[in-house]
Structure 1
Amino acid sequence: MRTAYSVETVRAAERELMARLPDGALMQRAAAGLAAACADLLRRVSGARVAVLAGSGDNGGDALYAGARLARRGAGVTAVLLAPDRAHPGGLRALLAAGGRAVPAHDDRAEPALARAELVVDGIVGIGGKGGLRTEAERLTRAVRGMVVAVDLPSGVDADTGEVKGAAVRADATITFGTYKPGLLIDPARTYAGALRLIGIGLEPYLPPVPDAEALQHEDVAALLPRPSAESDKYRRGVVGVVAGSARYPGAAVLAVAGALRGGAGAVRYVGPAADTVIARFPETLVHSGPPAKAGRVQAWVVGPGLGDGAAARHSLEDVLRSDVPVLVDADGLRLLPPGDLRKREAPTVLTPHAGEAAALLGVSREEVESGRLAAVRELAGRYGATVLLKGSTTLVAGEGGPVRVNPTGTGWLATAGSGDVLSGLTGSLLAAGLGALDAASVGGYLHGLAARRAAGPHGAPIAAYDVATALAEAWRDVLA
């Protein structure tokens, strides 16, 4: 599992570690890892042209020391100093002693050096930086033509939130030290970071056991997937109820059921007006005309996709929310949610909004949600007393406490009508199979994104929501393998 910690937590851990090390040792560890990563990215180090964009802080010091190491291996290294009188003195001395050169940012040689470089090291600002790049730094980054490697994180992005408030460096690779920072995993900042590489510097013993954010990987998901035992039957494996679809949107019911059938539960019970359409596609589905309370026993409900906004839809949602089993609310169900939080429910509730639905639930603009996804998902979870899966280019899952889960799978091709219906059915099935709300939402998002990648293929191609549903079994097998 990838774990990420806030800037404040990282700074505290660094102070504890530095107190036990010789002066400057921690910076040398970071510089050594950075230089090695840069060397891996260059075809050859000797004779390569490298530029270092160095700010005035320790981030600039890391970059200068790394530049010195590359210069000693034969690279032609030029440091462009944004604040020459405040450049890290030790790093600058090391670079010049190794045969590198340094020029002030306002010097006529600065932009040509950046334009000629095969690799540019972004050491402008570190993890404590706030806001976008200043005017001079932005001007210099526009001169860059080669590969960009960011030191710890791309300058101009927020390490804690993933927000990008102004101009920022777009890196081809980011070399981060000690631990991941939440902003590196969350859009929009994630798209600025490029390929991520973590360099260990001995920070781990000084970090708290509970991170601020975490991202599941294959082995984590494999450990959570429900598996039938020799004694299992369809009811022991769990029954998921799906309340979805309408005369106008029967396809939403089909897609939600398609996801539910591939989520680990033993049976799917459909309740709603699209029963004939569902049975025609999936004859194994149990159907009932409603209301949900009279449909039969289920271990979890999914309610909302394509439900409409009429009185019948509202009554169905209220009926489901009165149940004593986990409930996932999506799409039209989110628009019909009664005011107030959901803490009066004894069983867990999962909400799965996209940015527009999240904005409506919070009473803010869609742009505010999309630019501050981490804050939005935490606010939703706290305000509604629910587990929230915020869909989008970075899908986030949050409960009322603990780390936010960041989903690392997915593809832009997943932005297609009906894909959220498949995700709802899949996640509801995992709830019925016995996973807790946070795990069900996290595993559902992970498998959904992985299935979309499989359906789109290695080079990417348009996919439909049903393609994602049919690829779920392959994604499941891939995780277990």
Structure 2
Amino acid sequence: MFAPLATAGEVRAAEEAYDGSLDELMERAGAAVAQVVLGRFPGSVAVVCGHGNNGGDGKVCARVLGAAGRDVTVVEGFGELGDPDVIVDALFGIGLKDAPREDAARMIERVNASGKPVVAIDIASGVDASSGEIPGAVVRAEVTVTFGSAKVGHLVSPGRGACGQIHVADIGLDVPGTEHRLVQARILDTVPAKAPSSTKYRAGAVLVVGGSRGMIGAPVLTAKAAFRADAGYVLLAAPESALPTLESLILEAVKVPLPEDSLGRLVPRAADSILEAATRADAVAIGPGLGRSEGTRELVRVLLENLTVPVVLDADALFDLDPFERRAPTILTPHAGELARLLGTDTDDIEAHRLEAVRRAAVRFGSTVLLKGPDTLVATPREGVLVCGFGRASLATAGSGDVLTGIVASFAAKGLEPSLAAAAAATAHGLASQLVEPQRGVVASDLLHGIRLALAGAGAGISPV
């Protein structure tokens, strides 16, 4: 269900506990990189070596490549790169935390400017292996060969984008018990299937609260996604004026008409009808298409104070949200812009420090927080982060987040604990994006069929790395 996702400190601890010599590990590591180069990249090779173990790995790689008949140049001291067919990056490895110095940064710029394919050893130089942050210049690798397990920086953006394809080589170094974990496709095996004796009410009942004038499609997508994620019963609470439209857009959901203001947004007195409908639900999703007003903000506050089942907050329900206290589970599903507002910063800051930001939000709101993105992150106040790496570019489309909210709510309604529900939902969502063909021109409603395929096991062989 989970694979280890190591930090630099955890790797160092594993190396200290290793009962052989570090020279043995270096020989195996360098040979593993050489095998990837030999198998995938023809022609001459420049191995750019820094100081320390990463440079040592690079020199072993160069020796093995030379013995195999390749034309190999070892570049040390930030010397001339020449004109190789492929470059091996052995500059820094996983020990880097600060921005590379000026001479190293110039070397990195030359590597990137060469236009040649780059194979990075352990991690692309310039990426913080423990966070995925990029404090300065960074190598843009096509492939990264790492050892023992993937590192946090391989899968968490922005480092994810610098490391390319990840190849994990076994060199006999075990990195057990990592704080952060990589979610595997088999997490979907934890989602309860409908039993032969199930009724629609016992298979997970979801209440979706949202919609406003011009935004009624959002809660419809959420409700449909909850059904496709195998919920047995879905109620859709939305402005009363939208009822005729809803009846034509989604036949299966039970509609709950709610009072609205003159602009078609829900008002605080809608809480009574919502709380009554929630007595028939195992989880409530609030926010898709809700609209932003003082009235909707007050409505969200009242619902959080009074709902006793798990709540998923998305989209406009997150707007100007203050910390709250609830005894029942709460899952927040922001994108980077929404999280920036919640934490009083800007989107660029969130994107540069995604791991730290999602953990800070989980503590601030005392909730499970799912930070959306190609590297969807799930954090709780007291545990490490779950990294879900299945998403593809096709998810960058309007309504995709509304679909994810419906999946999270369905899994929470089925009884999965919050972080597991969020991680499983992100996995189903990401796999759906891969199972829908073709990849270009995907709209959010296309993902609904992909959810069914993912839950049926069609993505079981897909790796997040």
TM-score (norm 1): 0.87
The Cα offsets for residues 56-92 of structure 1, whole Å up to 9 and x where unpaired, read as 111000010111011111111100102xxxxxxxxxx
Give 1:438's aligned residue.
419
Match 1:172 to one of 138, 142, 150 = 142
Measure, in 2, the Cα distance between the counterparts of 1:407 and 1:23: 32
Q: Which letter maps to 1:407?
A: C
AA of the residue aligned to 1:293:
L
Aligned partners of 1:469 and 1:57: how far apart in 2? Answer: 50
The residue correspondences of 1:118-129 to structure 2 (distance < 5 A) are 118-129=85-96
Cα distance, 1:243 vs structure 2: 0.3
State the AA in 2 paired with 1:279. E
Alpha-carbon offset, residue 453 of structure 1: 2.6
Query: Secondary structure of the equivalent of 1:111?
Result: coil
Which whole-Å CA distance do the structure 1 matches of 2:378 and 2:22 have between them?
40
**Farther off after superposition, 305-314 or 351-360:** 305-314
Give the stretch that moved more between structures: 173-182 or 274-283.
274-283
Q: What is the alpha-carbon distance in structure 2 between the residues aligned to residue 450 and residue 139 of structure 1?
A: 35
Alignment match, 1:243: 209
Q: Structure 1 residue 279 and structure 2 residue 247: aligned?
A: yes
Are 2:186 and 1:226 equivalent residues in the alignment?
no
1:64 & 1:318 partners in 2: Cα distance? 60
Note the residue ranges of structure 2 that are not aligned, 5 or more in a row.
259-272
Match of 2:6 in 1: 5
Question: In the alignment, what sits opposite 1:373?
Answer: 354
Opposite residue 10 of structure 1, the aligned amino acid is V
1:469/1:135 Cα in 2 relative to 1: closer, same or farther (>3 Å)?
A: same
Letter in 1 for 2:162: Y
- 443-452 or 189-198, larger mean C-alpha shift: 443-452
Aligned length: 438
* Residue equivalent to 2:391: 410
CA offset digits 1:316-342 (Å, max 9, x no partner) = 4234312111000011100152x22x4
- Relative to 1, partners in 2 of residues 1:59 and 1:415: Cα closer, same or farther, differing over 3 Å? same
SS at match of 2:45: strand
Q: 2 CA distance for matches of 1:425 and 1:414?
A: 15
1:131 maps to amino acid? D
Q: Distance in 1 between matches of 2:196 and 2:287?
A: 34
CA contact (8 A) 2:330 2:418 kept: yes
Runs of 4+ with >6 A deviation: none
Q: CA deviation at 1:126?
A: 1.5
The offset of 1:282, in angstroms, is 1.7
Structure 1 unaligned residues grouped into runs of 5+: 83-104
Alignment partner of 1:127: what SS? helix
- Say if 1:219 and 1:470 are closer, same or farther in 2 by CA, change over 3 A: closer
What's 1:327 paired with? 311
1:304 maps to amino acid: G
- Amino acid in structure 1 at the alignment position of 2:187: D
The letter for the 2-side match of 1:286 is: V
1:162 to 132, 136, 150: 132
Contact 1:178 1:199 in 2 (8 A): yes
Residue 336 to residue 356, structure 1, CA distance change in 2 (3 Å): same
5 Å matches for 1:5-404?
5-17=6-18, 20-22=19-21, 24-43=23-42, 48-82=43-77, 105-106=78-79, 110-112=80-82, 115=83, 117-133=84-100, 134-142=104-112, 144-204=114-174, 207-209=175-177, 211-221=178-188, 223-273=189-239, 274-290=242-258, 291-295=273-277, 296-310=279-293, 312-321=295-304, 322-337=306-321, 339-340=322-323, 342=324, 344-404=325-385
Identity across matched positions, percent: 38
Q: Structure 1 pair 423/435, CA: closer, same or farther in 2 (3 Å)? A: same
- Which one-letter code corresponds to 1:248 in the other structure? G
> 8 Å contact 2:112–2:139 — kept in the other structure?
no
Match of 1:90 in 2: none
Contact kept? 2:191, 2:414, Cα under 8 Å: no
Paired residues of 2:49 and 2:59 also in contact (CA < 8 A) = yes
CA shift in 2, pair 1:248/1:42, >3 Å = closer
Deviations 1:81-128 (A, max 9, x none): 02xxxxxxxxxxxxxxxxxxxxxx44xxx232xx2x222110011211
Letter paired with 1:63: G
Task: Mark the structure with the bigger radius of gyration.
Answer: 1
Residue 15 of structure 1 aligns with an amino acid whose one-letter code is E
Partners of 1:251 and 1:308 in 2: CA distance: 12
Q: Secondary structure at the match of 1:471?
A: helix
Q: Residues 391-444 of structure 1, C-alpha deviation per residue, up to 9 Å, x if partnerless? A: 123211111122211111122221111111111111111111111111111111
Q: Which amino acid aligns with 1:242?
A: V
Question: Counterpart amino acid of 2:14?
Answer: A
What CA distance in whole angstroms lies between the structure 2 residues aligned with 1:23 and 1:294?
Answer: 64
C-alpha contact 1:377 1:389 (8 A) present in aligned 2:
yes
What is the CA-CA distance between 1:235 and the residue it aligns to? 0.7
Give, as a single letter, the amino acid of the residue that structure 1 aligns with 2:455. W
CA shift, 1:469, in A, is 2.3
The 1-side partners of 2:312 and 2:256 are apart by 19
Please give the alpha-carbon distance, in whole angstroms, between the structure 1 residues aligned to 2:197 and 2:451: 25
Q: TM-score, normalised by structure 2?
A: 0.90
How far has the Cα of 1:5 moved from its partner?
1.5
Query: Is the partner of 2:363 in helix, strand or coil?
Result: helix
> Contact 1:243/1:316 (CA < 8 Å) preserved in 2?
no
Q: Distance in 1 between matches of 2:201 and 2:86?
A: 59
Distance in 2 separating the partners of 1:272 and 1:363 = 30
Deviation at residue 164 of structure 1 after TM alignment: 1.3
CA offset digits 1:180-205 (Å, max 9, x no partner): 2101111111111111011122222x
CA distance in 2, matches of 1:282, 1:241: 14
Q: How large is the RMSD of aligned CA atoms in angstroms? A: 1.8
CA contact (8 A) 1:151 1:175 kept: yes
